[in-house]
Amino acid sequence: MFSTSLPSVVLSAAIFFLAALGACAQGKSTLTAMQAAALCQEAEQLFNAGNDKYAAGDVAALDDWRKAAARYERLVNEGDYHNGALFYNLGNIYFRLDDIGRAILNYRRAQQFIPRDPNLLRNLAFVRSRCRDHVPEPERIRVLKTVFFWHYDLPPSWRENGFLATFAAAWVFALLCLWRRQRHWLRWCTAAFAFLALALASSLVVDEWNRQKHRPGVILGESVTARKGDSDSYEPSFTEPLHAGTEFTLIGSRGEWLEIALSDGRTCWVRRHQAELVNP
């Protein structure tokens, strides 16, 4: 007679659950590791070759840079590599190609992964200073960035690992509390790690919420007439057009038009092809 005991049921369920999770873990890369490494190496060589040609005054440098950018883009789109240094390199190449919009776009993408990288910060600040439009950041955002510096300055991977570590530590101390009930310091440790884990989890949740709610983007077109509505029949929103590199937050979209908000809160509509989101 077949007897189903509780341990065997639990074990079966765990195996099924992990198998299901494992199925979700499949990525969407169409490049093998070797192909990716080769592309990366080619891009680096082309970029360096372009630098040499530029130093010699050869206009063919632009072609080499474009090719290098294309290879890096393949690593992102086909290889599904999302890496701070990769986007940083792309930003540098687009700056060399005088495409301020795409340069800032890729720097912003790199900033999600290496937010405190000094080279990235310096380059982004420099390229932003070259933008024709200056839209001041509201004071409130600067205050938030100062108070919650750990949310804004630590890479997401650090915060995620920190959450997992503090989460495990909290449970370990909770387990110890089961055996040593009289030890008050164990409880304090449990509470402290639980608080840290909660703070880091909240940071991750806020990140995800911001990713869904506040979708940043960059104007790519050289001169973009922003309008008051989703049609060319609407009046322009500003006395001057927006220029490449102007950063915005997406509010909504209708067909070919995007409703955006500049960093000072003013809103307008631009055509979809004239801008790109940091996280499409």
Which residue in 243, 260, 247, 266 sits closest to 132, CA to CA? 243
Nearer to other proteins by Cβ, of 216 and 269: the residue is 216
Tell me how far, at minimum, the Cβ of 170 lies from other proteins, in Å: 8
Q: Which residues are within 8 A (CB) of 67 and not within 5 positions of it... i.e. 6 or more apart? A: 43, 46
Half-sphere exposure of 262 (CA within 13 A, CB side): 19
Please give the Cα distance from 48 to 54 (Å, whole number): 10
CB of 237 to other proteins, least distance (A): 20
Residue recorded with tokens 């500003």 = 238
Among 174, 194, 198, 261, binds other proteins (CB under 8 A): 174
Q: Rounded to a whole number, what is the distance in angstroms from the first to the last CA of the chain? A: 58
- Can residue 12 be called a binding residue for other proteins (CB under 8 A)? no
Q: Which stretch binds other proteins (CB under 8 A): 85-93, 145-153, 223-231, 233-241?
A: 85-93
Among 60, 141, 164, 191, contact with other proteins (rule: CB under 8 A) = 164
Question: Whose Cβ is closer to other proteins: residue 40's or residue 219's?
Answer: 40
224 Cβ contact list (under 8 Å, min separation 6): 241, 242, 243, 270, 271, 274, 275
35 binds other proteins (CB under 8 A): no
Work out the number of other CB atoms within 10 angstroms of the CB of residue 157. Answer: 11
Per-residue tokens: 106: 């890729």
Q: Which helix (H) or strand (E) holds 167?
A: helix 156-179
- 18 touches other proteins (CB under 8 A): yes
Nearer to other proteins, 143 or 205 (CB): 205
Q: CA 124 to CA 88: how far, in whole Å?
A: 9
Of the pair 159, 227, the CB lying nearest other proteins is at: 159
Count of chain residues binding other proteins (CB under 8 A): 53
Q: Which stretch binds other proteins (CB under 8 A): 134-142, 172-180, 214-222, 262-270?
A: 172-180
Beta carbon of residue 232, minimum distance to other proteins (angstroms, whole number): 29
The answer to whether 100 touches 107, Cβ cutoff 8 Å, is: no
d(CA 212, CA 275): 18
User: Contact between 277 and other proteins (CB under 8 A)?
Assistant: no
Residues of this chain, 190-229, that bind other proteins according to CB under 8 A: 204-205, 207-208, 211
Which residues from 97-136 bind other proteins, rule CB under 8 A? 113-114, 119, 122-123, 126-127
Kind of pairing between the strands at 223-224 and 242-243: antiparallel
Q: Which residues bind other proteins (CB under 8 A)?
A: 17-18, 21-22, 24-27, 33, 36-37, 40, 44, 47, 75, 79-86, 88-89, 92-93, 95, 113-114, 119, 122-123, 126-127, 155-157, 159-160, 164, 167-168, 171, 174-175, 178-179, 204-205, 207-208, 211
